[in-house]
Amino acid sequence: MNESQLRVRFAPSPTGYLHVGGARTALFNWLLARHAGGVFILRIEDTDRSRSEEAMTAAILEGMSWLGLDWDEGPFHQADGLERHRADAFRLLEAGHAYRCFCTPGVLEERRAAAGTTPDAYRYDRHCLTAVPAAEGERRASAGEPHTIRFQVPDGRTEWQDAVHGVIGFDNADIEDFIILRTDGSPIYNLAVVSDDVDMRVNLVLRGDDHISNTPKQLMLYRALGVEPPRFAHVPLILGTDGKRLSKRHGATAVGEYRHQGILPEAMTNFLALLGWNPGTEEEIFTVPELVDAFSLERINHKSAVFDPDRLLWLNGQHISRTSAAQLADGFVAQVEAAGLANGQELRARDQELHTLIDLLKPRARVLDDLCAQAGPYLAERVTVDEAAAAKHWKEPALAAERLERLRERLAGVEPWDEETLEGVLREEAEALGVGAGKLIHPLRLALLGVAVSPGIFEVLVYFGRERTLLRIDDAVENLRRRAA
Ligand code: GLU
């Protein structure tokens, strides 16, 4: 075995969906593994293997697959390690690092009340450590008396060099002798995690800041088990734009919801990577291979990250612009067909035109749905004129008709039908008429699309081609004549 090979894991609890924070933790671990040629392990921290846990796990795996976060080992299920967890607890017991505790919840509650502390502040008074010698504990356990197993917290301080925060330390006196095995024989979270991480030879644990308070307990367990602990890196919380911890109030928190909102997985990955990682350059757009290349533990911020949905949309727009029309085509055709805007098969048959259209719409799309939402005027047989736009750009219908007709004549004969030539012709016409180019462009846009905004008019002309352009101008002139009459 290669001892120096990085081994990291993502260990989600099956909550039924992949949360943005979890996805970020998964991504950071995955990037570190891919960057270093290490191993990325997936472990589901389920407490049992019921059908409902399986279903909740499936949603997490689906989210990870969508993001392209493939794992090298697993998915392992924590519930499958139960016997090992128990064996580790008994090893600790035999080595004198743990003891049996027969204090019942009722007795504990009485002592807490007598001590006058809140449940959070109460620390177990070690009654059974002194009152129940080991041999007696064994006897009572064999007789079936309900009890837990508690870890005996050593004196001193527990510190570690956190890869994100630097040295973090806790006084052991602040940590009670915590339970490692419950009355029903099931392991407590901290024991299961340590047992699994040891078993999977994890050598870097990167997880959310909310686990910092677990780390001293886990470190104590490593030491008591005689195992070298992994390195720890705790990534800062994700906050909403109001500075409060990210929650449903801020919008979607499940990765799957962003998928349904038309976010590309590359954009989501890019966005999540920047939630707490500083690339150290002005660059904001990263492809996945670029992230793999650039990502490093050293550049993870120790301050909390802010989840800004506008930034996600902006990044998504950038990624849509950079995605080839061929890659976007299937999704686009499916949406356009579902919206009743075109026949998918016919659209696919004219793939050159389809790709030109997607390229035309791409720069204005922030989510995938925007492509379809803008596509109507380009795919419709006939133009539907937006009256507000007409009131503005076809204010004098007779004049607009006259100008469009003149332009039509020029366009009928122009060669070649490309952006540059078309622009030249239009500008010449405008000059000949003694008006600014806009006085021709706006009415023409309305004639071609029926709306006031669009990508560059010359690109639009190229997309339609000569024949369809002339037909649309004819329709518009007819429409304008009616308006003038
Ligand atoms: N299962 C824990 C969680 O979902 C993560 C445990 C860990 O990363 O150590 O928060």
Ligand 1 pocket by C-beta < 6 Å: which residues?
11-13, 45, 193, 207, 211
Residue ranges of the chain with per-residue pLDDT less than 50 = 1
CA 289 to chain centre: 17
> Residue 313's closest CA among 243, 357, 252?
252
Please spell the DSSP secondary structure of 211-247, one letter per residue.
GGGGHHHHHHHHHHHT----EEEEEPPEE-TTSSBP-
Q: What is the DSSP letter of 187?
A: B
Quote the pLDDT of residue 117. Answer: 86
Q: Say what the pLDDT of residue 1 is.
A: 47
- Exposure string of 196-210, with b = 16+ CB inside 10 Å and e = fewer, is bbbebebbbbbbbbe
Residue 13 Cα to ligand 1 middle (Å): 6
Of 13, 76, 197, 209, which is best to mutate to test ligand 1, by the most ligand atoms within 8 angstroms of its C-beta?
13
- Taking the centre of ligand 1 as the mean of its atom positions, its distance from the CA of residue 413, in whole angstroms, is 69
Q: How far is the CA of 195 from the centre of ligand 1 (A)?
A: 13
Q: Position of tokens 């990955």?
A: 269
- Tell me how far CA of residue 302 lies from CA of 165, 170, 238, 405, in angstroms: 6, 19, 11, 65
How much is the pLDDT for 3? 67
Distance 20 CA to ligand 1 centre (A): 14
Q: Which residues are catalytic?
A: 248
Distance CA 97, CA 222 (A): 11
Mean of pLDDT over the chain: 95
Give the pTM: 0.90
Most informative mutation of 193, 203, 214, 219 for ligand 1 (most atoms within 8 A of CB)? 193
Nearest CA to ligand 1 atom 6: 11
Closest approach atom of ligand 1 to CA 12 = 4
